[in-house]
Amino acid sequence: MTNRGLPGVLVTGATGFVGTALVERLRHESQFHVRAVSRRAHSPVEGIEFITKAVAPDSDWSASLRGVDTIFHLAARVHVMRETTADPLTEFRNVNTLGTENLARQASQAGVRRFIYVSSVKVNGEATLPGRAFTERDTPAPLDAYGVSKYEAELALRDISGRTPMEFVIIRPPLVYGPGVGANFRRMMEWLYRGVPLPFGAIHNQRSLVSLDNLVDLIITCTRHPSARNQTFLAADGEDLSTTDLLRRLGSALGRPARLAPVPEGLVKIGFAMINQRDVGQRLCGSLQLDISKARDCLGWTPRASVTEGLRRVASDFLELNRSAAAATRQELPA
């Protein structure tokens, strides 16, 4: 890596939701020479060296790691709502566990100083009791194949770091939202935008989220901070919301007041179970809180953006995309 005197960094998963934002932040800060790894070829971007490579148990990283001081490992086989493979745990392990272990082993041999691994709060578990937030001290209790594979990767990284000079940092985020978000969060915005009545007006859970800006800021903070060495941190916005409150505030940010019917939580869960979506009902009604006091105390880190600002940004992006799509449709219509 021709680093021009700047520290060399390697970002895997560089074209994903979080990776794209991280690479852009690194590029604009001009403090790093960035090498970005993606599974597919990417068009050139000034100041970024793109590499096409898969994270796999047998990938050769020797050339990619030359001159690299820090690795930001974001690439993963992500959690999916409807698994179609016959053996999902093996599929998750191939990328998330064995692929990570392979990269970390070669990184330690190449003299990488710090390996920052974006894991998942699913390592802690799937739910918390109200007021009993997860902490980094909790005994890991992953319940699905994705969470298990992420936890096993953490163990492998700790083992490699314990036998070599390479430092590690593990960050466990919950649901991440921000401009460009997809999946269920975008679906919620579409429902609100269209004014669809929703049966979520009496949900009294508490859930932690993390905005894209806040997660990227924590990742950057862990790059050089001496107290981040060989530590695990939970990431969140610092303000927990019920599903009802989230929908109301998101609707307000979209300029479309949420139409929420006060259906009791128990009936909501039964309804989702009847359509074979029990897990969705649990996420909408259950609590999942993260205590971020360790990041505050150890790193002096506080979330840069409030929940209100984070929701405003994601809503603004959604509305702009809708306006652009509508304008394109009008141009395609015959005169």
Tokens (6 digits) for 120: 């998942």
Cβ-contact 34, 49 below 8 angstroms: yes
Q: What are phi and psi of 113, to 5 degrees?
A: -80, -45
Catalytic status, residue 146: yes
Burial class of 70 by CB neighbour count within 10 A (0 to 12, 13 to 18, 19+): buried
Angle, nearest 10°, between helix axes 307-332 and 243-254?
Answer: 50
The beta-carbon contacts of 184-187 under 8 Å, at least 24 apart in sequence, are 184/81, 184/280, 185/314, 186/318
Contacts of 252 (CB under 8 A, 6+ apart): 258
C-alpha R_g of the chain: 21
- CA dist 74 and 54 (Å) reads 12
158 half-sphere exposure, CB direction, 13 A CA radius = 10
With CA atoms as reference, report the closest residue to 57 among 14, 95, 107, 11: 95
Strands 68-73 and 114-118, how do they pair? parallel
Count other C-beta atoms under 10 Å from residue 318's C-beta.
22
Instruction: Please give the sequence-ordered ranges of beta strands (E in DSSP) within 42-113, or none if there are none.
Output: 48-52, 68-73
Helix (H) or strand (E) holding 169: strand 167-172
Tokens (6 digits) for 113: 């100083």
Which residue among 146, 151, 177, 193 is the active-site one?
Answer: 146
The residues carrying an active-site annotation are 146
